[in-house]
Amino acid sequence: GQPFDAPPGGGGGFEFSGRGDQAAGNRSEADFSEFFESIFGRGGSGPGPQRRQAGRAPRQGTDHHARIGIALADAYSGARRTVNLRMPVADESGRSSVTERSLEVAIPAGVRSGQKLRLAGQGGAGQGGGPAGDLYLEIDILPHPVFRLDGRDVSFDLPLSPWEAALGATVTAPTPSGLVQLTIPPASAPGRRLRLRGKGLPGQVAGDLYAVLAIALPPVVTPEDTAAYQAMGLAFAGFEPRAALAAAASGLACRPGPPARPGC
């Protein structure tokens, strides 16, 4: 697998703790002590601990928990990544240290933030010959510069020229899985949401992808640009974009049919 890219401020892509209810930054010496005891038993090295451990019933090791940041593309298509964990270990003399440990992790398509992946037998060592605990990886999908996640639904802002929004058009739009051709209906107002059914995050029921329309105005750079906007203003001299706003602010609603009030 490929090396996993760590999120900003992360330690190899993970935050590690020995207990599910304790963050990595808050682990105490007691947590490490329990971890070491799960491997070597209480006391120092040599035959003493082995005799005491031999009398114990087999006991499963402690489950460990970590958080992993992944890209939106990994959540869409799935991936295999080699990830590094910093784990506490102890040698035969009982001296503790922290070592890095690499794991090959399969990230399934459609995984969501907050979902936990279980890696059986990758947690703390068992006692008295018991099985090792499990490692739980909590998924955190990292923010994307274009796409926004809401559950399995995904949305993004799609800029349009004024004439594309007014007259309608077919434009090229990005999606997390590639480019698509999107039909813009005539008279599309800013903020309108166009739905691409089933193009959101995959799953048993896939989410939808929403293009949120926005108007991008051409810049005024040359005298010709200024003249073009002035001509547009003359052509639409009767258009009052704030008529409905003024009516709503005064508590008066514009009703269809005569007699029409000023501004309606």
The pLDDT tens digits of the residues spanning 83-116 come to 787 766 555 566 777 777 888 899 999 999 999 9
The torsion defined by the Cα of 94, 98, 101 and 107, in degrees rounded to 10, comes to 120
CA atoms within 13 A on the CB side of 170: 3
pTM: 0.67
Q: Which parts of 45-84 fold into alpha helices (H)?
A: 47-54, 72-77
Task: Assess whether pLDDT exceeds 90 at residue 185.
Answer: yes
What residues does CATH 2.60.260.20 cover in the chain? 2-141, 144-217
The CA distance from 80 to 1, in Å, is: 6
Task: Assess whether pLDDT exceeds 70 at residue 17.
Answer: no
The CA distance from 112 to 139, in Å, is: 7
| Mean pLDDT value across residues 210-220 | 97
The CA distance from 41 to 158, in Å, is: 61
Taking domain 2-141, whether its CATH number is 2.60.260.20 is answered by: yes
Taking domain 144-217, whether its CATH number is 2.60.260.20 is answered by: yes
The torsion defined by the Cα of 166, 168, 172 and 177, in degrees rounded to 10, comes to 100
